[in-house]
Amino acid sequence: MTVTSSSRSAIVFDLDGTLVDVSARDYAVYRDLLDQDDLVPLPFEEYWPLRRERTDLASLLARSTEDARAYMTEFVRRRGGLYESPSYLDLDRVLPTVMETLAVIREHFDVVLITAREDALATEQQLRARGIRPYLDAVYVANNNKAAALRRVKSATLVVGDTEHDIELAAQFGYPCFAVTTGIRSREFLAEAHPAYLADSLSDVLAVL
């Protein structure tokens, strides 16, 4: 983790689904685990829309096995061991307009990244490999405790993310949330969580700053 000492206001960004497209990684882990167990995974075209509507995991797995609830515990355990591994992280792609948008924002605000990921080293390596790291003033790998990380950002003014959890996090601290539809939740799902702003492109955040 690197902490900025700047006194400027900060814009806080999520990573997965906000700055990088995780759809290929998410599906590949699911597909590979089912393949290993001689189960038939859903095609991506069916799987990803269901994920974006927050279909529960048992219901997803039930489309491939009759004993989904019993299978789910082992699936989740094995999935956790793969999801942040370098070979799967390599499937992520930087979303459109990310670099340009961060460059403009950084002229006026500190850019802070808070991710729920657990592997700080793998995350740092990915940020550098994808060219995102130079645009970030601080990086917090929060190990599923983004609230604790956000408490350390004293000058935050806006939270940018792609899930209902980001919207809830912003509300917990009294910040507006700019939600983007580029990640693991659909526009319709996000709208029901009532973010302050909802857009299909990260670049739209520039209009509200």
Query: For residue 5, is it within any domain?
Result: no
Q: What share of the chain is helix, strand, coil (3-state, %, to 5)?
A: 45, 15, 40
> What kind and span of H or E run contains 35?
helix 23-36
Claim to verify: residue 97 and residue 45 sit in the same structural domain: no
The model's pTM is 0.94
C-alpha torsion sign, points 160, 164, 170, 171: positive
Q: Which two tokens stand for residue 149?
A: 């990380």
Q: Which of 72, 89, 106 is the last residue of a domain?
A: 89
The SS3 of residue 46 is: helix
Claim to verify: residue 81 and residue 35 sit in the same structural domain: yes
pLDDT at position 6, please?
58
Q: Which of 71, 89, 107 is the last residue of a domain?
A: 89
pLDDT at position 145, please?
97
Claim to verify: residue 79 and residue 112 sit in the same structural domain: no
- CATH code at 122? 3.40.50.1000
Claim to verify: residue 76 and residue 98 sit in the same structural domain: no
Q: Which domain holds residue 43?
A: 23-89
Query: For residue 170, is it within any domain?
Result: yes
164 and 183 in contact (C-beta within 8 Å)?
no
Claim to verify: residue 63 and residue 118 sit in the same structural domain: no
pLDDT at position 2, please?
45
Q: CA angle at residue 144 from 139 to 146, to 5 degrees?
A: 50
Closest C-alpha to 196, from 176, 167, 170, 174 = 176
For residue 124, the tally of other CB atoms under 10 A from its CB is: 15
**Cα(157)–Cα(38) distance, integer angstroms:** 49
Q: Which residues of the chain have pLDDT under 70?
A: 1-6
Q: How many independent structural domains does the chain possess?
A: 2
- Burial pattern 64-86, b for ≥16 Cβ within 10 A else e, equals ebeebeebbeebeeebeeebbee
C-alpha torsion sign, points 176, 153, 105, 97: negative
Claim to verify: residue 119 and residue 146 sit in the same structural domain: yes
If you count them, how many residues does the chain have? 209
Residue tagged 């995350």 (tokens): 123
Claim to verify: residue 155 and residue 82 sit in the same structural domain: no
Claim to verify: residue 100 and residue 180 sit in the same structural domain: yes
Claim to verify: residue 68 and residue 131 sit in the same structural domain: no
DSSP strand pairing (156-161 vs 197-199):
unpaired
Question: pLDDT, tens digit, for every residue of 16-25?
Answer: 999 999 999 9
Claim to verify: residue 114 and residue 202 sit in the same structural domain: yes
The SS3 of residue 86 is: helix
Claim to verify: residue 82 and residue 117 sit in the same structural domain: no
